[in-house]
Amino acid sequence: MGRASDRRRVTRVRAGVATAVRPDTVVGEEPLEIRVGGRSLAVTMRTPGDDMDLALGFLLGEGLIATGADVAAMRYCVSRQDVSRPAGLGLTAAGRNGNGSGDGAVDEDGRPTYNVLDVTLAPGVPAPDVDAARTFYTSSSCGLCGKASIDAVRVRGRYEVADDPLRVAPDVVTGLPPALRAAQRLFDTTGGLHAAGLAGADGVPWVVREDVGRHNAVDKVVGAAARAGRIPLTGQILVVSGRASFELVQKALLAGVPMLAAVSAPSTLAVDLAEEAGMTLAGFVRGDTMNLYSGAHRIACR
């Protein structure tokens, strides 16, 4: 499988002087093609690892499924039939004659890349409209790339969060970023990843994922929740290491998350969407401070 990190030679420069040439650890970035029923749906640049969570979260974030139960199986398309994957949700590896052609699933030496993942939907779940207008490419910097317009991502949500009873003390929210940072093992060696996590009212993250793309990190935690049967995420807080974009608010809403806490700033559309949905949106959560852009009633301030 593609590595989450690798070593590269770097020249260290200090005060204009090249002081050393040494190896450095760099975060991995590889494409992942997500197929549904053997048909290509999307390609995203991601850090390899937790790919099945990523695919589940992506499908949820696009409004294509409502829970993990809407997916019957997932499998990597590889060139060898002797590679198995962990059980659960029918998650296996398929050979060239399996579910998916295997195109692009091997490197130049014929070794599996695990960069093509095929999803089989459960009976009765409608297949996505995979056509020229629907298929798109997402980069690690922007999950909206290839969308025709902002209207195309205003997916109708299945879960209402406005009446979610979640209410927490301010220190629960401000404690989330350091707790998230403490769980970022790969960031410690590369310094090049975003992170997302989910926590309940106690403020203790029960799942954390890292990725070179902030939207991928969110998809991975939502996908992990879906595999655990925890969708909708009632009473949960989504914490992210970067800014709060429209897309991240939308992903949270489609998973039924009532509160999003971001280390950095939100965008105008993110605030508008959070207000419309009744979500609590906290930005600039740093130290003992935060800005509440919507849903301030869920924070029990003195």
| 214/241 Cα distance (integer angstroms) | 8
Residues in the chain: 302
Structure tokens at 244: 């709060």
Residue-wise pLDDT for 70-88, tens only, equals: 999 999 987 444 333 433 4
pLDDT for 101 equals: 38
Helix, strand, or coil here: 205?
strand
Distances (CA, A) of 155 to 8, 51, 151, 174, 294: 41, 23, 8, 30, 20
pLDDT band at residue 1 using 50, 70 and 90 as cut-offs: very low
**Does the annotation count 142 as an active-site position?**
yes
pLDDT band at residue 111 using 50, 70 and 90 as cut-offs: low
Q: Which residues contact 248 (CB under 8 A, 6 or more apart)?
A: 214, 215, 218, 238, 240, 260, 262, 270
Q: Among residues 77, 142, 145, 301, which one is catalytic?
A: 142
Q: Which residues contact 128 (CB under 8 A, 6 or more apart)?
A: 36, 41, 62, 64, 134
- Greatest distance between any 2 Cα atoms in the chain: 64
pLDDT band at residue 226 using 50, 70 and 90 as cut-offs: very high
Domains of the chain and CATH, by start: 30-153 (no CATH), 170-298 (3.40.140.10)
Q: Which residues contact 129 (CB under 8 A, 6 or more apart)?
A: none
Q: Which has more pLDDT, 156 or 124? A: 124
Residue-wise pLDDT for 140-198, tens only, equals: 444 444 343 334 445 567 899 999 999 999 999 999 999 999 887 776 676 668 899 99
Distance, first Cα to last Cα, the chain? 51
